[in-house]
């Protein structure tokens, strides 16, 4: 009994967590890492490290500043694979592990997961955890490259004490479809966010945002929020937008929020549509006060070919906005089909257009879905629930170890 009490007190007193993220760009991983670093109980001491975003990506360090989190920047951590920079980042992580002496190394997303878990295993860290915020096992690369990535992840899973999936769907994909590891090794812990800010000043923000973009009272504002990257499939969004505008049945404006490698291509297509129908497609780049922007929108879309848990759809529902989305990743865990939005098969432009048209034409359906959204997400995706679940998982692994 005395020995058990000693061990319990040691764990409570000494638990150190080294949290490693790919890079501080806008998206779910940054929010996840921020809240887990800031709000874990005093039983845990956390050091957050990660790389900087690429030039085409928006810097998300303002999010960490907002919550008083001071990360350590790893300049060696680059998004693109490089033997030199990856080696440098790996050696630097090993140095940090030796200095910080963590009981837990918890990595977030692929690059951090590869380098961080390898370094932690080499340094014999007791607990090694990795969170899959998404994966690259389909729709990113060809068969050969995908096979290589799967092989790497299977080997890394063997070095991991536990794997965190952010949805039940993702757990099934990792364990049953892609065979990364057994389902017994996977814990489902959904993401968490500070959703209250999407409720404050909702009415006033709506008026201000619609005034900023000169949106008429009877004009429908439709947005898509995310990186301008191939996996997000903005071409489908633009195709649907053009077809809807061609019908001319309602006043509609489409907003593309984000930035990235396909900005030039997307801008070119948007300009072609605007030349035909007037200024109907607006590219805003990244918007920091997305809660204020959301308040002025009527519908938010997602057209991706692959996702983990898209933040934009959770934020949309918190803002009382119905959504139309492709059926990818953990979408069915975060959107209630027919109640908070519509879910359509990946790449089905015709059905996407049909469902979006339903929301455009029917004010009552939009209103009903908007009211359902907040009730659905407010507790399920709150950051305090995330922190509570993660603390319990850490304690479970520590006790088991």
Q: How far is CA 248 from CA 45, 144, 236, 252, 275, in A?
A: 58, 46, 19, 9, 15
For 368-388, the pLDDT digits (tens) are 999 999 999 988 899 999 999
pLDDT at 164: 96
Residue 345 DSSP SS3: coil
pLDDT at 53: 76
For 45-94, the pLDDT digits (tens) are 999 999 887 766 667 888 899 999 999 999 898 877 788 989 999 999 99
Contact 93, 114 (CB under 8 A): no
Q: How far apart are CA 33 and CA 387, in angstroms?
A: 10
Q: How far apart are CA 401 and CA 397, in angstroms?
A: 6
Superfamily of chain region 2-192+382-400? Glycogen Phosphorylase B; (3.40.50.2000)
Selected residue with higher pLDDT from 13 and 330 = 330
Q: How far apart are CA 185 and CA 39, in angstroms?
A: 25
Selected residue with higher pLDDT from 62 and 365 = 365
pLDDT at 244: 97
pLDDT at 29: 84
The average pLDDT across 134-163 equals 81
pTM for the structure as a whole: 0.79
Residue 329: pLDDT band with limits 50, 70, 90? confident
For residues 354, 221, 369 and 351, what is the CA-based torsion angle, rounded to 10 degrees?
A: 10
196-380 and 2-192+382-400 share a CATH fold: yes
For 222-280, the pLDDT digits (tens) are 999 999 999 999 999 999 999 999 999 899 999 999 999 999 999 999 999 999 999 99
For 25-39, the pLDDT digits (tens) are 777 788 899 999 999
Residue 3: pLDDT band with limits 50, 70, 90? low
List the domain boundaries for the chain. 2-192+382-400, 196-380
Question: Could you say which architecture CATH assigns to the domain 196-380?
Answer: 3-Layer(aba) Sandwich (3.40)
For 164-204, the pLDDT digits (tens) are 998 888 899 999 888 999 999 999 999 998 998 899 889 99
Beta bridge partners of 344: 326
Residue 283, phi then psi, degrees to nearest 5: -100, 120
């Amino acid at each position: 009994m005395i020995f058990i009490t000693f061990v319990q007190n040691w764990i409570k007193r000494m638990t150190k967590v080294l949290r490693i993220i790919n890079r501080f760009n806008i998206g779910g991983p940054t929010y996840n890492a921020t809240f887990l670093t800031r709000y874990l109980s005093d039983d845990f001491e956390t050091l957050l490290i990660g790389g900087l975003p690429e030039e085409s990506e928006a810097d998300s360090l303002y999010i960490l500043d907002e919550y008083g989190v001071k990360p350590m920047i790893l300049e060696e951590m680059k998004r693109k694979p490089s033997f030199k920079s990856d080696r440098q980042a790996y050696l630097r992580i090993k140095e940090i592990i030796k200095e910080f002496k963590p009981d837990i190394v918890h990595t977030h997303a692929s690059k951090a997961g590869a380098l961080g878990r390898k370094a932690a295993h080499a340094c014999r860290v007791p607990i090694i955890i990795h969170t899959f915020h998404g994966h690259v096992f389909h729709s990113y690369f060809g068969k050969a490259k995908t096979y290589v990535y799967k092989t790497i992840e299977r080997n890394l899973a063997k070095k991991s004490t536990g794997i965190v999936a952010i949805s039940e769907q993702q757990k099934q994909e990792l364990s049953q479809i892609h065979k990364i590891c057994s389902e017994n090794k996977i814990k489902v812990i959904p993401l968490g966010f500070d959703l209250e800010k999407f409720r404050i000043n909702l009415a006033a923000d709506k008026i201000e945002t619609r005034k900023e973009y000169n949106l008429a009272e009877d004009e429908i504002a439709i947005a898509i929020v995310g990186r301008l990257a191939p996996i997000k499939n903005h071409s489908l969004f633009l195709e649907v937008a053009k077809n809807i505008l061609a019908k001319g049945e309602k006043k509609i404006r489409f907003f593309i929020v984000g930035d990235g490698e396909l900005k030039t291509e997307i801008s070119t297509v948007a300009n072609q549509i605007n030349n035909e129908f007037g200024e109907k497609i607006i590219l805003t780049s990244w918007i920091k006060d997305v809660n204020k922007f959301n308040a002025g929108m009527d519908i938010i879309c997602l057209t991706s070919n692959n996702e983990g848990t898209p933040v934009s759809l959770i934020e949309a529902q918190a803002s009382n906005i119905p959504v139309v989305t492709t059926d990818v990743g953990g979408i069915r865990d975060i959107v209630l089909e027919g109640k908070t939005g519509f879910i359509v098969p990946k790449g089905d432009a015709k059905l996407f257009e049909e469902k979006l048209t339903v929301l455009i034409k029917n004010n009552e359906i939009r209103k009903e879905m908007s009211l359902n959204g907040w009730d659905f997400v407010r507790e399920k995706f709150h950051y305090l629930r995330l922190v509570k679940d993660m603390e319990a998982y850490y304690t479970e692994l520590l006790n088991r170890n």
